[in-house]
């Protein structure tokens, strides 16, 4: 069983590839949370997997909240996570390990996949070039191909790109990110909006409704940037920070 979260499609791609390679079931954590569904039963020896993006050098809070509430009929034998990031994960492994240890479980394996950047909500943050994004996806696919047999064999391993100054990033910057950067009141829509509703569909938290044909944000945002990247006419902006930055969405439809 694989529990996953994804805002812009990178982690969904990883979760789907793992589910296919491991012949496992996929469960989208925001949907399970909405349905208040936290009780699951694994088959004998079944692996328990988690897939999510890195937000400010840590797992997204909604993932940690879900893990806390998750109830299994029996202690899982093999637990792993795969996380996707733009370049580095900081102390994600420590945070995740602690979250599952608090439940009396142990982490058997984890790995990170460097994938195209999605965060453009502050000055200085920008997307990868198309060429670089493609290279990252090709490398991530090769890592998945290499790691699927290791998960099948239930190997113990840890392959996380921690990066530099991890403590400062995962604690000091992370805590100010959680306090100040999740503010969806800075989202705005321009006159380019064609009222297609794709931003509503793209929001994993169902935080957007159309009000007179234009998106309205409702204050429970995880800042995945899915609405911004998914708009077919680039009509959504986050203050001034996103102006001229372009869009990215894994296999944008």
Q: Which residues bind ligand FMN (CB under 6 A)?
A: 6-12, 53-57, 84-88, 115-119, 223-225, 250
Number of amino acids touching ligand SF4 (CB under 6 A): 28
Give the shortest CB-234-to-ligand FMN separation in angstroms.
Answer: 17
- 42 SS3 class: coil
246 binds ligand SF4 (CB under 6 A): no
Cβ 102 vs Cβ 69: under 8 Å: no
Cβ 232 vs Cβ 198: under 8 Å: yes
122 binds ligand SF4 (CB under 6 A): no
Name which of 1 and 208 has its Cβ closer to ligand SF4.
208
CB burial readout 187-203, b (16+ within 10 A) else e:
bebeeebeeeebbbebb
- 176 SS3 class: helix
For the record, the structure tokens of 182 come out as 């999740």
Identify the CA nearest to 25 among candidates 52, 46, 54.
Answer: 46
> Residue 26's CB: how many other CB atoms inside 10 A?
16
Q: Which of residues 159-188 bind ligand SF4 (CB under 6 A)?
A: 184
Residue 107 touches which member of ligand SF4, ligand FMN, none, C-beta under 5-8 Å by kind: none
Question: Cα 72 to the chain's mean position, in Å?
Answer: 23
Q: Which of residues 207-226 bind ligand SF4 (CB under 6 A)?
A: 207-208, 215, 217, 221-226
Residue 56 touches which member of ligand SF4, ligand FMN, none, C-beta under 5-8 Å by kind: ligand FMN
Give the shortest CB-213-to-ligand FMN separation in angstroms.
Answer: 26
How many CA atoms within 13 Å lie on the side-chain side of 159? 16
Residues that bind ligand SF4 (CB under 6 A): 7, 184, 189, 193-199, 202-203, 205, 207-208, 215, 217, 221-227, 231, 233, 235-236
């Amino acid at each position: 069983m694989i529990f996953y979260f994804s805002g812009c499609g990178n982690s969904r791609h990883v979760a789907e590839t793992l589910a296919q390679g491991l012949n496992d079931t996929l469960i989208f954590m925001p949907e399970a949370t909405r349905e208040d569904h936290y009780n699951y039963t694994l088959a004998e020896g079944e692996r328990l997997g988690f897939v999510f993006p890195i937000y400010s050098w840590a797992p997204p809070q909604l993932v940690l909240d879900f893990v806390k509430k998750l109830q299994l009929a029996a202690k899982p034998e093999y637990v792993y996570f795969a996380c996707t990031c733009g370049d580095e994960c900081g102390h994600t492994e420590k945070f995740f390990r602690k979250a599952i240890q608090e439940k009396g479980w142990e982490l058997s394996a984890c790995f990170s996949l460097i994938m195209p950047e999605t965060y453009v909500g502050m000055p200085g943050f920008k997307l990868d070039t198309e060429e670089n994004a493609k290279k990252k996806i090709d490398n991530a696919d090769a890592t998945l191909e290499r790691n699927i047999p290791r998960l099948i064999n239930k190997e113990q391993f840890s392959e996380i790109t921690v990066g530099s100054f991890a403590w400062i990033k995962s604690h000091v910057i992370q805590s100010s990110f959680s306090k100040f950067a999740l503010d969806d009141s800075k989202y705005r829509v321009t006159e380019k909006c064609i009222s297609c509703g794709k931003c509503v569909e793209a929001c994993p938290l169902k935080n957007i409704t159309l009000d007179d044909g234009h998106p309205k944000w409702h204050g429970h945002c995880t800042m995945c940037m899915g609405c911004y990247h998914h708009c077919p006419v680039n009509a959504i902006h986050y203050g001034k920070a996103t102006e001229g930055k372009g869009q990215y969405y894994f296999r944008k439809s």
